Amino acid sequence: MKLPIFIADAFTAKAFRGNPAAVCLLENKLDEDMHQKVAREMNLSETAFIRKLHPTDNFTQSKYAYLFVCLLVFGSLWHTEFPGQAVVAAYAIENVNSTLTFVTLSGELKARRAEDGIILDLPLYPAQPQDFPEVEDLIKTAIGDTLVQDVRYSPDTQKLLVRLSDIYDRSFLENLRVNTQNLLQVDNTGKVKGLILTLKGEPGGQTPAFDFYSRYFAPWVGVAEDPVTGIFIYFFCRFRAAPAAYVSSKARGQIKAVAAGHSHSSTGSELRL
């Protein structure tokens, strides 16, 4: 069996930046075991499998396709319902349509080409204020005595968002040593599966185009730190009503997100290798 497989760096326009994902084009449905073997062989955080919706479709011109994403966690493979990275990578492969709709585990996800990248229409999830004492041990384990300005929690995505004090700058966040090794011991309830550290942008600073910066950690699912993640924008646009752009993990990738009703649009570039 021959399967065309590509690797695309999502959320960047430069080689060896962003977050790489594998994309496999399927003529026919694969069994679960084969999905697992291919994804394990690629050994990337996400492997996307694209299958034609109808037998007469083709990968270059069809406007609809099935998208099945395998997430590599602790050496084990899972199916993710939040495939933002994989959708950006999948859209970049072969297809010439300006808009492409993927049928996924979380419903239909639309991707469309824009002048500055690929736009995804994704759902919004509520983020509620979180009492600091309830998560104080977790936060202090991760970042010590670093000052915190706000804490939010998304029950739908099980992500904890920690906004650092405005006294800090981008350089501080990029160089902050985050202790992820002990987080599993501090919180093993299953409530939190991801920690987002975010910081307000610097209008007059070195990168005035960015409204905020962020880093993402998920040791609960085997990811010490994700190079560039789009998962937090599923609920971050509710936290910030205004359009926002962010740079993640030492400038490895960029995403723009704009809230629109009960959904939001995010823009990420892609580089196909």
Cα gap 225→4, rounded to integer Å: 29
What are the E-state strand segments in 124-218?
128-129, 148-154, 159-164, 194-200, 212-218
Give the N- to C-terminal CA distance of the chain in Å, as an integer. Answer: 22
Cα gap 233→128, rounded to integer Å: 14
Residue in the structure block whose two tokens are 């695309």: 8
In angstroms, the Cα distances linking 183 to 164, 170, 223, 248, 260 are 18, 24, 12, 21, 34
Which of 27, 32, 41, 46 is labelled catalytic?
46
- Encoding tokens for residue 116? 């500055």
Contact 226, 249 (CB under 8 A): yes
46 catalytic? Reply is yes
Burial of 195 (0-12, 13-18, 19+ CB in 10 A): buried
Q: Name the phi and psi angles at 113, rounded to 5.
A: -80, 135
Cα gap 219→166, rounded to integer Å: 26
DSSP code at position 242:
S
Annotated catalytic residues are: 46
